[in-house]
Chains A and B, each alone.
Chain A
Amino acid sequence: MSDRLFGLVTIAVALAFIVSASQLQTSMLSDPVGSKTFPYLVGGVAALSGLVMILRPDPEPLWPRGLTWLNLAIALAALIGYAYALKPFGFLAPTAACAAILSFQISGRPVVAILTGIGLSIGLFILFKYALGLGLVPLPPMSAPEAPTPA
């Protein structure tokens, strides 16, 4: 079932990729192949392979059950939150929080997890800042947020 589903998703993505490639504007200076041909080839092979997966699926893998999904979802949310928090809140607090949440999802022991989070946050900060000399900001900036840096 998983393989059939994955095959379907692959075919859908591959077709979307091909359609998107067909919309590409060609410039005046084009070469014999152009910008569309290679994406067509890639999309075509992917769609074909997706079809093979639907027709000849492997045995069903062992998916996690019940509460484990919740553990995984919490971990994912923590990682996404961490990605957003790192810049506005500095290194120390978000790292401690995220590390503690991840640690708790693995061990299930709250006190150990909190200690792990705090320890990792301080330890890694010292390592990165002083041993490796990376320019990390430890705490949220006190004044108005700095001007956005160009991406």
Chain B
Amino acid sequence: MEILSNLALGFSVALSPYTLFLAVIGCFLGTIIGALPGLGPSNGVAILIPLAFSLGLDATAALVLMTSVYYGAMYGGRISSILLNIPGDEPALMTTLDGYPMAKKGRAGDALVISGVASFVGAFLATIGLMLLAPILARVAYLFGPAEYFALYLLAFCTLGGIASNNQAKAAIAACLGLGIAMIGLDNTTGMPRFTGGNLHLMDGVDFLVAIVGLFAVSEIFLFIESHGKNTAIGVKLEKITIPVKDIVGSTWTMLRSTLIGFFAGVLPGAGASLGSFLAYMGEKAVSKDKDTFGTGNPRGVAAPEAGNNAAAGGALVPMLTLGVPGSGTTAVLLALLMTLNITPGPTLFAERPEVVWGLIASLLIANFVLLFMNVPMVKLFVRVLTVPAWVLLPMVTMISFVGIYSLSGSYFDLLLMVAFGVLGYVCRKIDVPTVPIILGILLGNHMEDSLRRAMVISGGDWTFLFSSAISVGLWIAAIAGFVAPMFLRKFLKPPKPVET
């Protein structure tokens, strides 16, 4: 009953014409961002945050706009996977396995419709899951003290580093780099400057938006210059779109199973949508009777990863909203948005700002219907977007990044810092050092240090206090397991090779 009244509050916020307008704009931009290769949800949302902020949107409006972009990008990622065999974003990688073979058989339209419906099922049910699970988790989160939060942050770094990267040492370096950057600026407790090198620009610390846009968006331009824009295709053709009713009905259970798997993969801090789509695909392949048709254009091989990754996108919002710990790169970017808007995610958010939380949930429900409409009947429009050549797209993205950051502070120093992060991002991506832990470190560094220091103030300097409650011991064990276990599981966690173009 409580949920219904909360939801009514949410819809009263979300159904205002202005909010609806922002949700539609967000869905539209998001689908484009997702569809374009080289512009995934993380960097797409990242370059739009400074703009949303300088437009002076209020908290709810900004959040609705950006989460619509986020959901839209998750939907849109499948378009280039299916048509070009190039994932529009990382979680859409699994969709290339059966999506592209379907397109080669002349069933591109069917694949787009099936995956669009699967995205809807995954995202819609996951939003309901978010609605049910988040308030419960928020209540548990009230039991968290500084020691538990310290362990939770550690868990996020460990699972993210363990699962989402190929080399534990590199993930740890990335996390430390982010944490080290977060230390720059004034010490929260003592008010003394640290690691600024006497530079006045650094007294306030490094703005995480500058770091995010640099690492995610500016680094992309270097990668594209290196490949000379070969990763774009011009002249994609698509036949008339019909609804393959038989295939959709035939994959109903596939979608539901994958949604469940994806949602829980998304809820795990640090795991995210890529893991969700991977597990959904592998799970579906394992239970199916016609295993050998997977990889050759089986419609269920398209439905499973899309339901999985969109469900994971919804699931990833759960830890982000209730605990302030993001479950993926894009939710890390959304966390940056919340922090920019002076909203502190966590259990108190549900009690003190219900209009933000429930307005967000209601607009996500609405956004899903908008996205279903955009991604099934209107999908041809977005297919056209794929024909934008890299030599227009990449300069445009770069210029938008610059204007966004410049409009925040008007300082050339931030722009230079952003370029420096772009170079760092390029080098990291070349040598396979994950960039998401860097972002997470910059975002969470000060909170993590504060919780450690507050825990020590409470215990009077007794370090065993960190392991004194059942919750924190559980989190420490999960953190160590999340970091170590993937070393042994890595063999099984490799995605199958996509078919040759």
Contacts and interface: CB of A to CB of B under 8 A. Distances in A.
A128 B403 CA distance: 9
Contacts of A64: 226
Interface of B: 51, 54-55, 166-170, 172-173, 176-177, 179-180, 183, 187, 189-192, 194-195, 200-201, 218, 221-222, 224-226, 228-229, 389-392, 394-396, 398-400, 402-403, 406-407, 409-413, 415-416, 418-419, 422-423, 430-433, 448-449, 452-453, 456-457, 460-461
By secondary structure, the B interface counts as helix
B431 A38 contact: no
A39 interface: yes
Interface in A18-50: 20-21, 24-27, 29-33, 35, 37-39, 42-43, 45-46, 48-50
Contacts of B411: 151
B396 A99 contact: yes
A53 B169 contact: yes
B403 A124 contact: yes
9 contacts: A2-B431, A29-B189, A33-B461, A53-B167, A80-B419, A83-B418, A86-B406, A116-B392, A132-B51
A10 B173 contact: yes
Contact of B389 (A61, A79, A107, A151): A107
Contact of A35 (B192, B222, B423): B192
A56 B167 CA distance: 10
A135 B452 CA distance: 42
Contacts of B201: 151
A124 B391 contact: no
A12 interface: no
B45 to A, nearest CB: 17
A108 B228 contact: yes
Contact of B456 (A32, A46, A109): A32
A17 B402 contact: no
B189 A35 contact: yes
A3 B432 CA distance: 10
B389 A17 contact: no
Interface residues of A, number: 75
Contacts of B172: 45-46, 48-49
Max count, chain A CB within 10 A of own CB: residue among B192, B448, B457? B192
B356 to A, nearest CB: 23
B192 A53 contact: no
B391 A134 contact: no
Given A30-B190, A99-B396, A83 B416 contact: yes
A76 interface: yes
Max count, chain A CB within 10 A of own CB: residue among B170, B177, B395? B395
A82 B187 CA distance: 33
B499 to A, nearest CB: 22
A68 B177 CA distance: 28
A68 to B, nearest CB: 6
A102 B394 contact: yes
B388 to A, nearest CB: 11
Nearest to A87: B412
Contacts of A56: 169
B229 A31 contact: no
B176 A42 contact: yes
A95 B392 CA distance: 13
Contacts of B415: 82-83, 86
